[in-house]
Structure 1
């Protein structure tokens, strides 16, 4: 099992550093505080069992999900910020929670970076972060720029319904034959008309949330849940690195999520999307960031109660 942090880097210190960027608001998420809780359905494809025996992915189920924006509750929808899509598949005995994001890499490779990254961005007495400190950290840790560079590239006019989401970890998946291989989850929007029609410069601060609600009402928010298949030599421990030719390599569609309605936000608060929840057939990724994230969720949840 991957070792959790020891010494000066603790899970609690990472959670506190993440919250400090947002001004440490009471009872708020450490990140992705602004979002919308929704529900829907999942239907498995006829190929899902080739990849995993997990009943979460091979059986139909209800879906509880949340779309969100990285940062605090005040972040504007028009900012180039990371978007999140967390969802729960399966029933009580075979539940899986996946935490997806709009970039294929994580912002930190090590636990030291995961603590230092937010610490470098905490605002000073003038209400602004120290740009010299950020530049120095980035120069010493160039891999921590990969996520930000990816987010800066796509156009601003894609809504939540038109965004592709990745699971940045490598998950060991075991099928009915007992065969195990690493996969990466990729969730792809279904349908051609998935971009908002307004221009970015006239969008309101909550445009993305309003656009999502309108599309749910119209019944056109759906995603394909796919598994990217590993090849010999693919890295499995570095969440800041992509697999080679990741955008064009073989993928298997596990099923389809259809979002059918909006839930009260406390429905997602009470549920807690915990990455440790993975039904038999999908194992825990081996990297240290996953081990820290799944343990940190319990700490973060306790600070919100």
Structure 2
């Protein structure tokens, strides 16, 4: 009888692998290191209680949020828009808070913790400063589902600003409504308002720097609005594999839970003082059942401890 394989991956190992090979200051996030902290308000829709009784989604509140680029190194220069963008936000009051972590692709790059660690280790730079391409190709061939996120990003390059980007929570969240009924939802955060074309001079700027400069300009001259949508499940939907989308996900029934209005900039220290904790969910939104979500909760706590 074969000896069962013992998983080697831990949340701490994931944090180490995210930082491996990168010149990252010790107090910087393990991922999405380059970001901008903002504040605003949340106004619920009149249909929010049909989906969840969570007071963080059914009551007006202040919002603390952070837009970011998927680079570990906060000093990195990103020169194109084939990168992952992040939008983390906190809704609700002190006893009814929810932290939602959303990104510009609807899937994650690994479905298990072991696979995530192997994915990251395959891409750790060698002595020459570059990953072993053959090793990466071999891993991808053996784990084709880890290419789903990269494929989506390649087919859907980011807009030239945070305000025109659509963000997804890749996990399936059990939501319980005011009638006590529970179903799975996925969060989708969609921009409100028309796209503004970049100036010619903007197109030659570093993509990451332009994103942050554009964000500051938009917030100081007006506001930025997003609809927080709940995509509704159907029987048989996969709820534990975050590398795949629900069938026909782009044509799903969706309910607008409310509107986030970004109204001001915050010092980055405001967002850095505490993590946007994915485990922080006000009653009415429960933790997703997938392995990656559980690991993410532990990894964020570890990362916050090392940053302090």
**Same-fold call, TM > 0.5?**
yes
State the shift of 1:78 in Å: 3.5
Counterpart residue number, 1:285: 288
State the shift of 1:196 in Å: 3.1
Counterpart residue number, 2:56: 56
Query: Quick check: 1:123–1:130 contact (8 Å CA) kept in 2?
Result: yes
Change (3 A) 1:106 1:21: farther
Provide Cα deviations, 1:133-166, integer angstroms capped at 9, x if missing partner: 1111111111111111111122454310000000
**Structure 2 Cα separation of the partners of residues 200 and 144 of structure 1:** 33
Query: Quick check: 2:49–2:177 contact (8 Å CA) kept in 1?
Result: yes
State the shift of 1:194 in Å: 4.3
Counterpart residue number, 2:246: 243
Query: Quick check: 2:54–2:285 contact (8 Å CA) kept in 1?
Result: yes
RMSD: 1.6
State the shift of 1:201 in Å: 4.5
**Structure 1 Cα separation of the partners of residues 280 and 246 of structure 2:** 25
Change (3 A) 1:43 1:11: same
Q: Say yes or no: does 1:96 pair with 2:98.
A: yes
After TM superposition, the structure 1 stretch with the greater mean CA deviation from structure 2, 160-169 or 19-28, is 19-28
**Structure 2 Cα separation of the partners of residues 21 and 189 of structure 1:** 35
Change (3 A) 1:155 1:290: closer
Q: Say yes or no: does 1:172 pair with 2:174.
A: yes
After TM superposition, the structure 1 stretch with the greater mean CA deviation from structure 2, 245-254 or 200-209, is 200-209
Query: Quick check: 1:86–1:273 contact (8 Å CA) kept in 2?
Result: yes
After TM superposition, the structure 1 stretch with the greater mean CA deviation from structure 2, 190-199 or 35-44, is 190-199
**Structure 2 Cα separation of the partners of residues 109 and 199 of structure 1:** 40
Alignment of 1:211-290 (within 5 A): 211-290=214-293
Query: Quick check: 1:234–1:243 contact (8 Å CA) kept in 2?
Result: yes
Counterpart residue number, 2:22: 22
Equivalent in 105, 108, 124 of residue 106 of structure 1: 108
Report the TM-score, using the length of structure 2 for normalisation.
Answer: 0.94
1:113 counterpart SS class: helix
State the shift of 1:227 in Å: 0.0
State the shift of 1:296 in Å: 1.1
2:114 counterpart SS class: helix
Change (3 A) 1:156 1:287: closer
Query: Quick check: 1:15–1:296 contact (8 Å CA) kept in 2?
Result: yes
Flag structure 1 segments of 5+ consecutive residues without an equivalent. Answer: 1-5
1:206 counterpart SS class: helix
Query: Quick check: 1:143–1:240 contact (8 Å CA) kept in 2?
Result: yes
Provide Cα deviations, 1:70-113, integer angstroms capped at 9, x if missing partner: 11213334332110000000010100000000000001011111
1:271 counterpart SS class: coil
Would you say how many aligned residue pairs link Structure 1 and Structure 2?
A: 301
Provide Cα deviations, 1:188-246, integer angstroms capped at 9, x if missing partner: 00001345344774123510000111111221411000000000111000000001111
**Structure 2 Cα separation of the partners of residues 267 and 22 of structure 1:** 25
State the shift of 1:117 in Å: 1.0
Change (3 A) 1:123 1:108: same
**Structure 2 Cα separation of the partners of residues 246 and 200 of structure 1:** 34
Counterpart residue number, 2:79: 78
